[in-house]
């Protein structure tokens, strides 16, 4: 017979006491294993063995499964909300269990949470309810760009959305360069402005967006455009684009996320200037 710790590890690091009892580990045996430190009781009826990530541990202790932005970040997905502690799916009508150092954000969405973590499609759907359409759209495009969803999963996400939100999936692409690009494209779409994405321009290189074949928009994430060397390359590209008749606008994370009205006015003004010539 396998040891309880090996059994729990083979089950993914977490197991319900009822499941362990069905395969031969009675309550007394489980209590002795907890006392000896071989396994850990994370909450009544749920046991685990190391290693368990701090976020999954907190979600389990709180009474649910890790979900929403917490799951997506763990997969390297670009997410918009601030890091405000583990997001925990408790299920409808259930109550959380505050614990030492608890900073959990509970989600009382329908369904039965699994042990550990929600799936990526479920986490995306929870993110939309938690943080809104823009956060969902940017994370969806990031997830698709990382090839974390196949076509079937995307279709299931679409069908699970309210009818008035399914256009977000229809608009999404699998080649977005960053969450900032996703936000900018979504907001321009709402304004009725079409952007050509990831456009190669001879003598300039690939640019994030082109509007009306004359205005280049670059969404400059810090990781892509920080430092004097990269800044110099941007200036060289901008000069080459200007020689070809393009105007280039650069916007960084703080502008796109926190000062969108200024970004929008700048783009609309540039488009208006082009129409006056």
pLDDT at 276: 54
- The answer to whether the peptide bond before residue 51 is cis (omega within 30 degrees of 0) is yes
pLDDT at 62: 94
pLDDT above 70: residue 227:
no
pLDDT in tens, 126-165: 999 999 999 999 999 999 999 999 999 999 999 999 999 9
pLDDT above 60: residue 224:
no
d(CA 131, CA 137) in angstroms, rounded, equals 11
- The pTM of the full predicted model, rounded to 2 decimals, is 0.87
Domains of the chain and CATH, by start: 1-52 (no CATH), 56-172 (no CATH), 177-277 (3.40.960.10)
pLDDT in tens, 38-91: 999 999 999 999 899 999 999 999 999 999 999 999 999 999 866 778 999 998
Nearest to 74 by CA among 65, 182, 186, 50: 65
């Amino acid at each position: 017979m396998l040891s309880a710790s090996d059994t729990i590890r083979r089950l993914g690091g977490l197991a319900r006491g009822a499941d362990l009892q069905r395969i031969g580990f009675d309550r007394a045996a489980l209590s002795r294993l907890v006392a000896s430190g071989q396994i850990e009781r994370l909450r009544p009826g749920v046991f685990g063995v190391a290693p368990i990530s701090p976020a999954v541990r907190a979600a389990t202790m709180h009474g649910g499964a890790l979900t929403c932005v917490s799951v997506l970040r763990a997969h390297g997905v670009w997410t918009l909300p601030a890091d405000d502690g583990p997001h925990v799916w408790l299920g409808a009508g259930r109550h959380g269990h505050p614990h030492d150092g608890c900073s959990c954000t509970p989600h009382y969405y329908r369904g039965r949470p699994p042990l550990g973590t929600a799936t990526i499609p479920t986490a995306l759907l929870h993110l939309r309810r938690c943080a809104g359409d823009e956060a969902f759209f940017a994370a969806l495009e990031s997830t698709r760009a990382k090839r974390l969803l196949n076509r079937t999963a995307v279709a299931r996400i679409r069908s699970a959305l309210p009818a008035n939100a399914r256009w977000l999936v229809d608009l999404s692409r699998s080649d977005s360069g960053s969450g900032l690009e996703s936000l900018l494209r979504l907001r321009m779409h709402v304004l009725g402005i079409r952007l050509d994405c990831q456009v190669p321009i001879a003598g300039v290189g690939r640019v994030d967006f082109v509007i009306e074949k004359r205005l280049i928009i670059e969404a400059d994430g810090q990781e892509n455009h920080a430092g004097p060397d990269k800044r110099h390359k941007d200036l060289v590209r901008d000069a080459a684009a200007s020689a070809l008749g393009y105007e280039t606008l650069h916007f960084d994370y703080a502008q796109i996320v926190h000062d969108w009205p200024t970004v929008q006015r700048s783009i609309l003004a540039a488009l208006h200037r082009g129409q006056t010539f």
